[in-house]
Structure 1
Amino acid sequence: MKWYWRPSMNKITSETKSIKQFLLINGEKVEGPAYAPLYSPYSGEEIAQIAMADKELTKQAITAAYNARGAISKMPAYQRAEILERVVALLKERADEAAEIISRESAKPIVFAKAEVARTIETYKFSAEEAKRIHGETIPFDAAAGGVGRIGYTVREPIGVIGAITPFNFPLNLVAHKVGPAIAAGNTVVLKPASQTPLSALFIAELFVEAGLPAGVLNVVTGPGGTVGDAIVEDDRVSMVTFTGSPSVGIGIRSKAGLKKTTLELGSNSALIIDKDIQIEDIIDRCIIGAFSNQGQVCISLQRVYAHEQVYDEFIKKFTEAAKKLKVGDPLDPDTYISALIAKGEAERVLGWIEETKESNAQIATGGKLQNGILEPTIVTGADSELKVSCQEAFAPVVVVNKISSIEEAVELVNDSRYGLQAGIYTNNIKNALYAAQELHVGGVMINDVPTYRVDQMPYGGVKESGTGREGIKYAVEEMTEMKLVVWNQS
């Protein structure tokens, strides 16, 4: 028995074989020249046949988006907001279905898939609200001698066609972070979802069609990145590319994009500092969530912990005990906390990194092996900063815990990274909190929380190889609009 999602039926159904999933171009389902099977990362079963677009079909989608610019850019803000509100209502009605789609295509445990759907609803709600708040400002021209007799103001205008390339780890909400503000700002979109998780994108696109979004405003093109992604990035009609994924791909996009605006949300090996004055039992649950939710496949997953020597042993003991209690298994089981990584090759890669630690002074406190094909939650202690589990992005349920003697030492170790997305510190010392906030070279500092904290309206982005630009609806709208100055000469 195999499971799949049929867009035309708008529900999960059980059949003896999967069916084809089409492209969405100019409001219509379009056949692909070829199809590729989509397999469950957990069971290995085929769940769909996905259309593989070629360069010609990708350009057809870009043409549709380019021709639809006027339909959305000239639409009054309240009407754009109403469409987004209708999507919110439809998604609320079908939240359980959406969560099941996420869980089946990505092996995300259903408890986290439901949380993602709830966040996605909020993201589109914020987008609807921001559609009504896009405005400029007046400029005091008479502040300059040459400005007397003139008045001026700025307006924000849609940038045009946006190419959106999204990852597998939050296949519904990270689509929302690109599509929601794009439509709120009056732009059109060509969306390329991750190859492993296209069903969530096709699902939400169906909801936008049902909500009354004009044809061509949102186009979904599935297929290989080297074909679809490159065609989007290199086409002169695309005004902006917004990408979430690996640094290597992001750097490649930046080099090909020319003068296009780019927002790049890339990798991290996020760190947490634990000060000596913290009650350890009070933070264990948050550290577990930070390190192991969604199998650690989160850009801001807690990967490095620097615990003060006075609390280090207690933290290791309680953190390890909690990790051992996490249930490993079927993502559709509501009690499952850890399931399969997105691909078998990912588990093999991380196992290789763990094996590397055995050649050093590092110790494996728990985990480090597969359980029915699923990588157990793994805690490594005493790992050198040069080991891959520490200095590269694991994107797996692996966390390194090291001992430090001062906050200054910890900050230096956190900053000793090619990444700089978010970091956290637990402390009751105001001086130490302020020091960390000032000295940590990251895009966001979480005081008394794990670096994995994110709500969808906050500015989100990093420095160094963690990317450029900011997401979070208000901030994404700024990225997705151009400022125009208007000056009136009254004389």
Structure 2
Amino acid sequence: MPGIVPKRGIWINGQERAGASGKVLDVVNPYNGLTLATVSMASRKDSDEAVASASATFKNVMRNMPAYERAQILRRAAQEIRNGSKELIEIVVGEAGKPIRDATREIGRASTLLELAADYTMVQQGQVIPMDIVESGVNRTGIANRVPVGVIVAIAPSNSPVNLTVNKIGPAFAAGNTVVLKPSDQTPISALWLAAAFKRAGLPDGAFNVIIGEVEEAIEPLVRDPRVRMISITGGVPAGLAVLKAAGIKKVVLELGSSAANVVRADADISAAARSLATSAYLSSGQACISAQRLFVHSSIEKEFTKEFITATEAMKIGDPMDPAVEIGPMVSQVQVQRVLGWIQEAVAAGARVLTGGVAEARTIRPTLLADVPDNVTLAHSEAFSPIAVLQTFTEDDDVIERVNSSVFGLQAGVFTNDLRAAFRFGRDIDAGAIWINDSSRYRQDNYPFGGMKMSGVGREGVQYAIEEMTEWKFLGLKLGPS
């Protein structure tokens, strides 16, 4: 009936059920404020049962499931996403506030990622290791294989709730692991949709569990549980540090914050760079860890670049994320809107200039470009995760490389130049996990090693590289005769 809010729960051992904490989470559309669902949250007992289910399924089923069967499940799951894309897109738009054009791309990317994971399931290789490099190794040989780590806790964010979940669970299942997923409180509905889709695709019950709950009650027990052998989290630095502190001796992959730098040299195509960086900075209200935040523009082209950038920025449509023409939807919560307004006000009070934007609109911040931002304000050294970019100028490559590297973050960077030697130099000297030439820091695919340096994280994603993170080497030595 219209007006009835669906009641949802958690997902354990192949079934959705009510959480036992007695607490309820309202999932709210960030654009119109309507409640999409109420979710009964997990208790410590629920978390324990989720890990027990994942552990038993790993030991009894997944670790010995043939590669071709795992690949078939992943391909069927990819098809489930394609078949249900209309519903899933609407879920992402509703719970994350993501413009429908971006949500459509996200869902398409997720199904492609699962196909890629299926491909890599079939090509995992071991090594034959000769032992006769020393005299005592004669008549001995060895075989090294990669084996799944076991139970993985995956902690996913709200900004790309489907794709950044699939980034973790696809490689995990490809390698033969089981998963307990903790989605963002803002976006649990898409996580439950994925769990049901994988069940329909034939994933064994217990291989994929979803826990929605408070940190102390439900999440911290997952991280501390000795049956869990790996944690993979995409989130902020405080959350990553908390996981490291609580995890103990486990494998940990951290995809954390950024303050992505983009450099525009004097020889660049100014118009192309400006358009690319405006999109990179503001798409989906800048809520991506690789959004362009710090713009370093050569002083000789500052005026032309700024004019082109502002023109591209002010042409972007803000509003209802269900409108296909809208490029900038709401921020995920009004708490974040107020945080960002405070950062802008702090910067302006310290002498920064607002070149465009700087005010709230349609439950987000109008795309904002600031100049003359002092080094001691929050915006200068922290991840904005919002539609804000900071313009700075430079004259020498040495200087701008040093300023790019002055950040505690190092996830991705972009450099716009038509000088091949300069491109290689920036690629060598910038401290970041990936540097894109003539493309912005925001570009990402799922078949290269994605991850950061410094405070941006530990480990790598990207299907092949995530599978490596989610497996361990196991060695079998054989004595074939007398030494």
TM superposition score category, shorter chain reference:
over 0.9
C-alpha contact 1:296 1:395 (8 A) present in aligned 2: yes
C-alpha contact 1:456 1:473 (8 A) present in aligned 2: yes
User: Shift in Å at residue 148 of structure 1?
Assistant: 2.0
Aligned to 1:32: 19
User: How many angstroms apart in 1 are the aligned matches of 2:188 and 2:363?
Assistant: 24
C-alpha contact 2:330 2:362 (8 A) present in aligned 1: no
C-alpha contact 1:135 1:155 (8 A) present in aligned 2: yes
Deviates more, 1:341-350 or 1:444-453: 444-453
Aligned to 1:146: 136
User: How many angstroms apart in 1 are the aligned matches of 2:270 and 2:329?
Assistant: 27
Matched, 1:321 2:308: no
The residue identity in structure 2 corresponding to 1:59 is D
User: How many angstroms apart in 2 are the aligned matches of 1:41 and 1:429?
Assistant: 44
Aligned to 1:11: none
C-alpha contact 1:165 1:229 (8 A) present in aligned 2: no
Alpha-carbon displacement from aligned partner over 1:294-328 (angstroms, at most 9, x marks no partner): 11110111000100111111111110111111111
C-alpha contact 1:303 1:390 (8 A) present in aligned 2: no
Aligned to 1:178: 168
User: How many angstroms apart in 1 are the aligned matches of 2:275 and 2:312?
Assistant: 8
User: How many angstroms apart in 1 are the aligned matches of 2:430 and 2:183?
Assistant: 33
The residue identity in structure 2 corresponding to 1:292 is Y
The residue identity in structure 2 corresponding to 1:67 is A
Deviates more, 1:383-392 or 1:24-33: 383-392
User: How many angstroms apart in 2 are the aligned matches of 1:459 and 1:60?
Assistant: 33
Alpha-carbon displacement from aligned partner over 1:72-91 (angstroms, at most 9, x marks no partner): 11110000000000011111
C-alpha contact 1:156 1:483 (8 A) present in aligned 2: yes
The residue identity in structure 1 corresponding to 2:278 is I
User: How many angstroms apart in 1 are the aligned matches of 2:278 and 2:134?
Assistant: 57
TM-score of the superposed pair, with normalisation by structure 2: 0.97
| Aligned counterpart in structure 2 of residue 438 of structure 1, from 428, 446, 456 | 428
Deviates more, 1:256-265 or 1:366-375: 366-375
Aligned to 2:4: 17
User: How many angstroms apart in 2 are the aligned matches of 1:411 and 1:331?
Assistant: 37
| Aligned counterpart in structure 2 of residue 251 of structure 1, from 241, 245, 256 | 241
Matched, 1:160 2:150: yes
C-alpha contact 2:285 2:364 (8 A) present in aligned 1: no
C-alpha contact 1:382 1:403 (8 A) present in aligned 2: no
Trace 1:3-152 onto structure 2 (pairs within 5 A).
15-33=2-20, 34=22, 35-69=24-58, 70-152=60-142
User: Shift in Å at residue 404 of structure 1?
Assistant: 0.4
Runs (5+) with no aligned partner, structure 1: 1-13
C-alpha contact 2:234 2:254 (8 A) present in aligned 1: yes
User: Shift in Å at residue 475 of structure 1?
Assistant: 0.6
Aligned to 2:443: 453
| Aligned counterpart in structure 2 of residue 477 of structure 1, from 449, 467, 476 | 467
User: How many angstroms apart in 2 are the aligned matches of 1:307 and 1:386?
Assistant: 21
C-alpha contact 2:260 2:292 (8 A) present in aligned 1: yes
Aligned to 1:224: 214
SS in 2 for 1:212: coil
User: How many angstroms apart in 1 are the aligned matches of 2:218 and 2:30?
Assistant: 23
User: How many angstroms apart in 2 are the aligned matches of 1:411 and 1:306?
Assistant: 10
C-alpha contact 1:91 1:207 (8 A) present in aligned 2: yes
The residue identity in structure 1 corresponding to 2:179 is V
The residue identity in structure 1 corresponding to 2:48 is K
User: Shift in Å at residue 406 of structure 1?
Assistant: 1.3
Alpha-carbon displacement from aligned partner over 1:148-175 (angstroms, at most 9, x marks no partner): 2221121111111001111101100011
| Aligned counterpart in structure 2 of residue 193 of structure 1, from 183, 191, 214 | 183
Runs (5+) with no aligned partner, structure 2: none
User: How many angstroms apart in 1 are the aligned matches of 2:216 and 2:433?
Assistant: 30
Deviates more, 1:145-154 or 1:156-165: 145-154
User: Shift in Å at residue 224 of structure 1?
Assistant: 1.7
Deviates more, 1:92-101 or 1:381-390: 381-390
Trace 1:207-286 onto structure 2 (pairs within 5 A).
207-286=197-276
SS in 1 for 2:168: helix
User: How many angstroms apart in 2 are the aligned matches of 1:38 and 1:361?
Assistant: 39
C-alpha contact 2:405 2:431 (8 A) present in aligned 1: yes
The residue identity in structure 2 corresponding to 1:55 is R
Matched, 1:357 2:343: no
User: How many angstroms apart in 2 are the aligned matches of 1:374 and 1:448?
Assistant: 29
Aligned to 2:369: 379
C-alpha contact 2:30 2:363 (8 A) present in aligned 1: no
User: How many angstroms apart in 2 are the aligned matches of 1:200 and 1:372?
Assistant: 24
The residue identity in structure 2 corresponding to 1:48 is A
Alpha-carbon displacement from aligned partner over 1:230-287 (angstroms, at most 9, x marks no partner): 0110101001011010101101100111101100100000000111101211223321
Q: May I ask how many residue pairs the two structures share in their alignment?
A: 478
User: How many angstroms apart in 2 are the aligned matches of 1:86 and 1:50?
Assistant: 28
C-alpha contact 1:58 1:231 (8 A) present in aligned 2: yes
SS in 2 for 1:115: helix
User: How many angstroms apart in 1 are the aligned matches of 2:181 and 2:162?
Assistant: 12
Aligned to 2:284: 294
The residue identity in structure 2 corresponding to 1:396 is S
The residue identity in structure 2 corresponding to 1:225 is V
User: How many angstroms apart in 1 are the aligned matches of 2:123 and 2:68?
Assistant: 10
Aligned to 1:333: 323
Deviates more, 1:189-198 or 1:92-101: 92-101
SS in 2 for 1:311: helix
SS in 2 for 1:180: helix
Compute the RMSD of aligned alpha carbons.
Answer: 1.1
Alpha-carbon displacement from aligned partner over 1:315-354 (angstroms, at most 9, x marks no partner): 1111011111111111111111111111101010000110
Trace 1:392-431 onto structure 2 (pairs within 5 A).
392-431=382-421
C-alpha contact 1:122 1:456 (8 A) present in aligned 2: no
The residue identity in structure 1 corresponding to 2:46 is L
C-alpha contact 1:192 1:228 (8 A) present in aligned 2: no
User: How many angstroms apart in 2 are the aligned matches of 1:423 and 1:287?
Assistant: 11
User: Shift in Å at residue 226 of structure 1?
Assistant: 3.0
